[in-house]
Structure 1
Amino acid sequence: MACNGLHPRVGVFAIIQDDQNRILMGRRLSALGKGHWGFPGGHLEQGEDFSACVERETLEETGLRIRAGKVVGLTNDKFPELDKHYVTVFLKAEREDPQQEPQRLEPNKCEGWAWKSWQEIKAMSKRENGAQELFLPVENLVRENTKLYEVLQSE
């Protein structure tokens, strides 16, 4: 399946947990994934490291200063309806100030930020009500990495 001869883009997302092991998620407003829940992050820029990208994007979107950790997942995400294809990199990250809460700094891109439990995220990935609730890369990550929660807890 070719997408207009374009190359896939690289998305980089932060998995940030609070002291209750809930994960930060935002409800997307952009055309790609509108209405779906995803992690803070964005596009990798030319010459940029994954960690620098996710730290920059998270600060721009939420105001949170984070320290990126290791890569905990990769997905291959195709959006044929929009003729887009992404390779998505997920990094575990932690807030520099564990008490700092996210802000909605890009209101045209995100409806708001919320802390979701792993059980809530897993339930959303199953599309039990028939509707897609998670942004496709996050849904693919959860479905393809059954041990992800254990990996997040072991770091």
Structure 2
Amino acid sequence: MQNSVVMMAETKPVPRVGVVLFVLKGNSVLLGRRRSSIGDSTFALPGGHLEFGESFEECGARELKEETGLEMGKADFLTVTNNLFLEETKPAHYVTIFLRAVLADPNQVPQNLEPNKCHGWDWYDWDNLPQPLFWPLEKMVRSGFNPFPSECVLGLDGQ
């Protein structure tokens, strides 16, 4: 009986946790064209799976370094999404943590360190994003989501 319970637990799909980064530079965001069973040839943010014991920021910094060679500076939590990929060959369920990040050194140049997973990385103007976007990102953009920090607007009295 115990073996059958273990077998059932191993075959039942479970949600995964992903951490992705809006890496910002001026009015641009870093995007790469995916090579993946999910969202192949779409433009997506850098990121990956949260490992046991990692903070969201640690995961983001590790994934950014592994994928692009870039060193992350400050990162802030932005939002979380719940995405079901039911139309895929292998259906998946991801809870995705979105962070906003800046580079430790803004003069760093992204490298494609995982060419089997990505066609390459580049900076794209937020107001002129490439197409097609990875559908969770596309959904966010269409909803009016903006990863850039809002500017402080002073009242007439300077407050």
TM-score (norm 2): 0.80
| 1:77 CA drift (Å) | 1.1
Write out the 4+ residue segments of structure 1 that deviate beyond 4 Å after TM superposition: none
**Contact 1:77–1:136, Cα closer than 8 Å, also in 2:** no
Q: Are 1:89 and 2:97 an aligned pair?
A: yes
| 1:109 CA drift (Å) | 0.5
Larger Rg: 2
**Contact 1:74–1:141, Cα closer than 8 Å, also in 2:** no
- SS of the residue corresponding to residue 57 of structure 1 reads helix
Q: Are 1:134 and 2:133 an aligned pair?
A: yes
Unmatched segments (≥5 aa) in structure 2: 1-10, 152-159
**Contact 2:74–2:104, Cα closer than 8 Å, also in 1:** no
Aligned to 1:117: 125
Aligned to 1:127: none
| 1:7 CA drift (Å) | 1.7
TM-score (norm 1): 0.82
**Contact 2:17–2:96, Cα closer than 8 Å, also in 1:** yes
User: By percentage of residues, which structure has more helix?
Assistant: 1
Q: For the aligned residues, what is the CA RMSD? A: 1.8
| 1:78 CA drift (Å) | 1.2
- Count, aligned residues: 139
Report sequence identity in percent. Answer: 45
Unmatched segments (≥5 aa) in structure 1: 125-132
